[in-house]
């Protein structure tokens, strides 16, 4: 009986993952679905590929994974440099993540409050909603 329940649960989990990943393989949405389901190695590979092909949003997700060490060994400095570069190109999520880092203490000696507010405002105006509350 335990084997039947385990098999059923595995099938159910697979079905839920498949329904959530019913978007085109190789797309940002597909890679994000992998990420959301904890398939970090696969998500990182997909985000990296999409980033190389010009998807700035995918580059932001790759940088988040680099920062957190999800699917790769953490490389915070490389991630922060990527956030800065992407924010300069007006990628809202990257601006938001950079603003969050500044807000919570990263490089506070060298970053003025006005710069933090500007980065968060840029993120909010670019559509990255989590930054809108911090921008106030």
pTM: 0.80
Angle separating helix axes 28-36 and 40-52, nearest 10 degrees:
160
The full DSSP string for 33-44 is HHHHTT-HHHHH
- pLDDT tens digit string along 24-75? 899 999 999 999 999 999 999 999 999 999 999 999 999 999 999 999 999 9
How do the domains of the chain map onto residue ranges?
1-74, 90-136
134 vs 113: CA distance, rounded Å: 12
Give the number of other Cβ atoms within 10 Å of residue 10's Cβ.
Answer: 10
Burial of 116 (0-12, 13-18, 19+ CB in 10 A): buried
């Amino acid at each position: 009986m335990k084997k039947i329940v385990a098999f059923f649960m595995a099938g159910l989990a697979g079905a839920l993952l498949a329904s959530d990943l019913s978007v085109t393989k190789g797309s940002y949405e597909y890679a994000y679905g992998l990420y959301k389901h904890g398939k970090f190695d696969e998500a990182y590979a997909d985000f990296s590929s999409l980033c190389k092909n010009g998807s700035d949003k995918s580059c932001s997700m790759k940088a988040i994974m680099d920062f957190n060490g999800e699917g790769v060994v953490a490389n915070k400095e490389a991630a922060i440099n990527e956030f800065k570069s992407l924010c300069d190109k007006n990628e809202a999520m990257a601006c938001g993540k950079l603003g969050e880092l500044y807000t919570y203490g990263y490089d506070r000696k060298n970053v003025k409050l006005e710069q933090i507010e500007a980065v968060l405002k840029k993120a909010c105006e670019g559509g990255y909603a989590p930054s809108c509350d911090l921008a106030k």
